Chains A and B, each alone.
Chain A
Amino acid sequence: MVAARPLALLVLLLLGPVGQAEHPRDSFREELVVTPLPSGDVAATFQFRTRWDTELQREGDTDHYFLRYAVLPREVVCTENLTPWKKLLPCSSKAGLSVLLKADRLFHTSYHSQAVHIRPICRNAHCTSISWELRQTLSVVFDAFVTGQGKKDWSLFRMFSRTLTEPCPLASESRVYVDITSYSQDNKTLEVNPPPTTTYQDVILGTQKTYAVYDLLNTAMINNSRNLNLQLKWKRPPENETPPVPFLHAQRYVSGYGLQKGELSTLLYNTHPYRAFPVLLLDTVPWYLRLYVHTLTITSKGKENKPSEELSRKPDPPRSLCYIHYQPAQDRRQPHLLEMLIQLPAHSVTKVSIQFERALLKWTEYTPDPNHGFYVSPSVLSALVPSLVAAKQVDWEGSPLFNTLFPVSDGSSHFIRLYTEPLLVNLPTPDFSMPYNVICLTCTVVAVCYGSFYNLLTRTFHIEEPSTGGLAKRLANLIRRARGVPPL
């Protein structure tokens, strides 16, 4: 679940939902959500939101013709990814929650995900004016169990090697949330220190959650000891419960053998016991994997699941639900784009597979380590997943940041966007010394032919006078003499 995954730095341009009334200009909010996982790992998610009510861009509508989707399937992560990201924060890393962003700890984690979202959001119901929102999120998972020598306790200092000292003076809100959902029923399992002043309850991703809230702008919070070091101690170690399985998750792999053909498969799991829901699957495949679209098959529960057919059987299918879009690749110019809406039946695994042929690249187009393989970007799943608990309508400005990035319009479901793992595909790689070998071989062959030809044409040939002697002849003459036949 929390395997080390490559960082995906995404810039999402989303058209935001309808916002609220007027707000002070250029507001900044920050928060940190700490979720202790049953395994002993600790997930920490930072969210920073800068909002400019200044009109940065006066053009009204986004021209969708200019919208671009780009993916870098893999990037080696290092502190260089964090430094420019930190520069976008108004308090840099001098005050507030950003003090905790210390590179040498953040990159020694089991999971690291860093994102920047820029989007326009409407300032009023009719969307006559637009604010711009810059949202920066950073999620890390600390392996507290291993680094803590078997103890599952954690504190801010142990995770980040820093403590919180002062709030960012520019922030209108600066809070730390600690997830105490499964332990809040009785106070015997764990203890949070210092005790929280307030708790917050909400439906996050379809489940009821309880958070202990620490408001840094509350002067009493820090002033007592000049710093805030949140600690969590387990009074009774939790049993090894299996982590809850999410309703939607996905897996992707490449199969096939040899270097000519292969198959890309995406497995979509719907673990909801009784509800089916549609999923929008977006795939971009580089041009050097030549897709055979006629081999696109979608099977769930052993039956074929055609994107349009399945849905049209419904009494009154909304038009937008019957959707499949394919844009073929152009060599060296444009990748394949495959986008489709798939209905996932309740409690099922749906397999989307498509065959491809590997193309030969030009000699200079190979990467410096071509035998390592070529990365194929992850597919993106967007879905409205049914919730267990009905959520209230989200108050856009009032609620914490962590549940407002993808707000829920309908209380019975929540929006989720998933990225599958990137794939590594081997392409047929030539022997790069081949041109030289060919030159050498042909030259040698030409040289050998030429040599004999040259000898044949330029040498003079003498007729050798037959010599009188020879051992065989003498022997033959001896025998002939003995037989009384004239010698040769």
Chain B
Amino acid sequence: MAAAGSPGAAATDLEVVRGKRAALFFAAVAIVLGLPLWWKTTETYRAPLPYSQISGLNALQLRLMVPVTVVFTRDSVPLDDQGKLPFTVVHEREIPLKYKMKIKCRFQKTYRRALDHEEEALSLGNVQEAEAVLAQPKEQPEGSLTVYVISEHSSLLPQDMMSYIGPERTAVVRGIMHREAFNIIGRRIIQVAQTMSLTEDVLAAALADHLPEDKWSSDKRRPLKSSLGYEITFSLLNPDPKSHDVHWDIEGAVRRYVQPFLNTLSAAGNFSVDSQILYYAMLGVNPRFDPASSSYYLAMHSLPHVINPVESRLGSSAASLYPVLNFLLYVPELAHSPLYIQDKDGAPVATNAFHSPRWGGIMVYNVDPKAYNASERPVRVEVDVVKVMEVFLAQLRLLFGIAHPQVPPKCLLSGLKSEGLMTWELDRLLWARSVENLATATTTLTSLAQLLGKISNIVIKDGVASEVYRAVAAVQKAAEELASGHLSSAFTASQEAVTSSERAFFDPSLLHLLYFPDDQKFAVYIPLFLPMTVPILLSLVKIFLETRKSWKKPEKID
């Protein structure tokens, strides 16, 4: 029996070893070949993104460099001080905002002596004339400033005024004969330069959306968000066409008053202007009657309810991709006129107009009561567009965040240019918009990176990745240009950063596989994986147990 069994047992052992090897080989093929193959074929395509650079953007230090050229005339400072010219002083200051980006403001003051023609111009009797002569020779680059220091007793400025801010990028400051002349004048120059270019208010307003919610920021949320373009709609609301036949020469008014303003603003975006007349468009609030003055009034607390019912009829936002600014001229119906807007204290507002942040402005235009006496209904009303456009232009300035400047004491501010916008105000807007664009682009990129990191199902196509790279590069370029004081190229780069980052963020290809649920994956994989893995695993377990047993056996014998 034993003799007959031994060759059979040997053959069986051989078979068992071969079976074990085969099982191990299967497992090895499944792990070495099958797993990577499955992984490779089912993975979602994710192009590499510059994650570290994006997280680096958050710690970006923005250095806003304002090049200031300071020109000293002959008698402005003591003689021995004049000998030190020319030289450069840098005044750097961090702007305290509760924002993750550190923003530093840097005034680079280049001190030099006045040239002959500048001396000549500044010795003229009147600051406007001097300015006219000085402005001619060369164009100043955007964002830069020139400050002329004149002698202490010059008659260029009125006696009690210490400084003057011109409509272009120039200012005039009175000099002083003092040992510390440069220090004192330097302080005055900084005051003037801050008014003309960068202040905390401007930057806080620009970053209002990104700053933590507090009283300070909510108050500043008036200006429109930065965008590539804006659409401006002028609407004439005539709720009572039976009594009023209202005409306005809006085409002429836009050509004369609005277009010059927009032309100077054109560096900040594209503008399109349109107008419409709406009949039977009512305000959402019934005005109250005031028996004392036999007029009607809209109280301040009811103004928020005015806009919504009107807005459904405006319909302009449907036709544009850009944010729309609405300017409504409301001619109250006969039964409710005259109509006045009251402020907090109950006094009528002088302009009879109000504006809503980021939406537009409404002006109430009362028909002259004398018109009703003479003729029959409807009364023909010709709108005085000058009066209306004055108000709308002022509101337009506010909505673009061009507030009235806070002038330092004893400073003379020049009158507005005919376009309604000073050149340095435009610069200030560009500074603010560049910073806002950078903040928006950084936020967009950061949240995109976070989103992509969190959800591994999202496909990242090469197109999206290249937009992200472009946006990051544009942000960095804009920051560099800001630091070297090239405002216009910085603004262009910041716009490109916003455009690219938003294009990447809103790319529809990100959504393709987002909603492919996990249970469907299991349903697909289980029919294949369950029958394949179970035998492999079972035989592996068996092999493992047997080897352990054969290892233990010798110990037992001992």
Q: A residues engaging B (CB < 8 A)?
A: 84, 87, 90-92, 94-95, 166, 169-170, 436, 439-440, 443-444, 446-448, 450-451, 454-455, 457-463
Q: Is the CB of A448 within 8 A of B531?
A: yes
CB contacts under 8 Å to A, within B18-43, are: 18-20, 22-23, 26
Whether B524 pairs with A169 at a CB distance below 8 angstroms is no
> Could you tell me the distance between the alpha carbons of A259 and B224 in the complex, rounded to whole angstroms?
57
B532 within 8 A of A: yes
Q: How far is the CA of A467 from the CA of B335 in the complex (A)?
A: 119
Task: Judge whether B527 and A443 touch: CB under 8 Å.
Answer: yes
- The stretch that binds A, out of B8-16, B94-102, B127-135, is B8-16
Q: Does B455 contact A (CB under 8 A)?
A: no
Do residues A87 and B313 form an inter-chain contact, with CB atoms below 8 A? Answer: yes
Given A169-B242, A460-B15, A87 and B315 contact (CB-CB distance below 8 Å) = yes
Indicate which residue in B12, B18, B20, B532 contacts A462 across the interface (CB closer than 8 Å): B12
Q: Is the pair B528, A446 in contact by a Cβ cutoff of 8 Å? A: yes
Majority SS at the chain A contact face: helix
28 intermolecular pairs with C-beta atoms under 8 Å apart: A84-B315, A87-B313, A87-B315, A90-B279, A91-B241, A91-B279, A91-B280, A92-B281, A94-B280, A95-B280, A169-B241, A169-B378, A170-B279, A440-B527, A443-B527, A443-B528, A444-B527, A447-B528, A447-B530, A447-B531, A451-B535, A454-B536, A458-B26, A458-B535, A458-B539, A460-B15, A462-B12, A463-B8
A436 B12 Cβ-Cβ under 8 A: no
B279 touches A450 (CB 8 A): no
**Total residues of chain B contacting the partner, CB 8 A:** 28
Write the nearest CB–CB distance from A116 to chain B, whole angstroms: 14
Which residues from B are CB-within-8-Å of A95?
A: 242, 280
Complex Cα distance A446/B30, Å?
Answer: 14
Which of B19, B281, B527 has its CB near the most chain A CB atoms (within 10 A)? Answer: B527
| Complex contacts, B16 vs chain A, CB 8 Å | 460
Q: Does the CB pair B19–A447 fall under 8 Å?
A: no
Give the residues in chain B near A92, CB-CB below 8 Å.
279-281, 313
Whether A458 touches B23, Cβ cut-off 8 Å, given contacts A170-B241, A439-B524, A463-B8, is yes
**Which of B242, B281, B531, B536 is most buried by chain A, counting CB atoms within 10 A of its CB?**
B531
| Contact code string B524-554 (vs A, CB < 8 Å = 1, else 0) | 1001101110011001000000000000000
Q: Which of B263-312 contact A (CB under 8 A)?
A: 279-281
CB neighbours (8 Å) of B22 from chain A are 457-458
A450 to B30, alpha carbons, bound, how many Å?
12
Query: How far is the CB of A362 from the nearest CB of chain B, in Å?
Result: 15
In the assembled complex, the CB of A451 is this many whole angstroms from the nearest CB of chain B, namely 6
- Which residue of chain A has the shortest Cβ distance to B25 in the bound complex? A457
Interface flag for B523 (CB, 8 Å): yes
CA distance A446 to B531 in the complex (A): 9
Whether A447 pairs with B527 at a CB distance below 8 angstroms is yes
Given contacts A440-B527, A444-B527, 6 further A-B contacts (CB under 8 A): A90-B279, A166-B242, A170-B279, A443-B528, A460-B18, A461-B15
Closest Cβ of chain B to A408, distance in Å, is: 34
Which residue in chain A gives the minimum CB-CB distance to B251? A54
Complex: how many Å from CA A282 to CA B531?
61
A276 to B20, CA, bound (A): 93
Q: Is the CB of A457 within 8 A of B19?
A: yes
Contacts A460-B15, A461-B15; A450 near B531 (Cβ below 8 A): yes
How far is B532's CA from A447's CA once the two chains are assembled, in angstroms?
A: 6
Chain B residues near A451 (CB-CB < 8 A)? 531, 535
Which B residues touch A94, using CB under 8 A?
279-280
Q: In whole angstroms, how far apart are the Cα atoms of A462 and B18 in the complex?
A: 14
A443→B530 CA distance, assembly (Å): 10
Q: 8 Å CB contacts to A: which residues of B501-535?
A: 523-524, 527-528, 530-532, 535
Residues of chain A lying within 8 A (CB to CB) of residue B12: 460, 462
Q: Which residues of B contact A448 (CB under 8 A)?
A: 531
Give Cα A440–Cα B279 distance, bound, in whole angstroms.
65
Find chain A residues with CB under 8 A from B527 CB.
439-440, 443-444, 447
Complex contacts, A455 vs chain B, CB 8 Å: 535
User: How many Å lie between the Cα of A94 and that of B280 in the bound state?
Assistant: 7
What are the residues of chain A within 8 A of B535 when measuring CB–CB? 451, 454-455, 458
Give the complex CA separation of A387 and B16 in angstroms. Answer: 102
Residues of A within 8 A of B15 (CB): 460-461
How far apart sit A24 and B406, CA to CA, in the bound complex (Å)?
51
**Within the assembled complex, what's the spacing in Å between the Cα atoms of A455 and B19?**
9
Q: Which residues of B contact A447 (CB under 8 A)?
A: 527-528, 530-532
> Which residues of B134-156 have CB atoms within 8 Å of chain A's CB atoms?
none
Nearest 8 interchain pairs by C-beta = A447-B531, A443-B528, A443-B527, A460-B15, A94-B280, A457-B22, A458-B19, A169-B241
**Alpha-carbon distance between A22 and B295 when the two chains are bound, in angstroms:** 42
User: Which of B8, B19, B530 has the largest count of A CB atoms less than 10 A from its CB?
Assistant: B19
CB distance from B273 to the nearest CB of A (A): 14
Shortest Cβ distance from A417 into chain B, in angstroms? 29
Shortest CB distance B21–A (Å): 9
- For A93, give the chain B residue with the smallest CB separation: B280
Q: Which residues of B contact A454 (CB under 8 A)?
A: 26, 535-536
Q: How far is the CA of A39 from the CA of B26 in the complex (A)?
A: 84
**Complex formed: what's the CA distance from A90 to B276 in Å?**
11
A477 vs B535: C-alpha distance when bound (angstroms): 45
Task: Determine the chain A residues whose CB is within 8 A of the CB of B20 once the complex forms.
Answer: 458
Minimum C-beta distance from A395 to chain B (A): 28
Contacts of B280 in A (CB 8 A): 91-92, 94-95
Closest to A455 in B: B535
- Taking a contact as CB atoms under 8 Å apart, the answer to whether B523 and A436 are in contact is yes
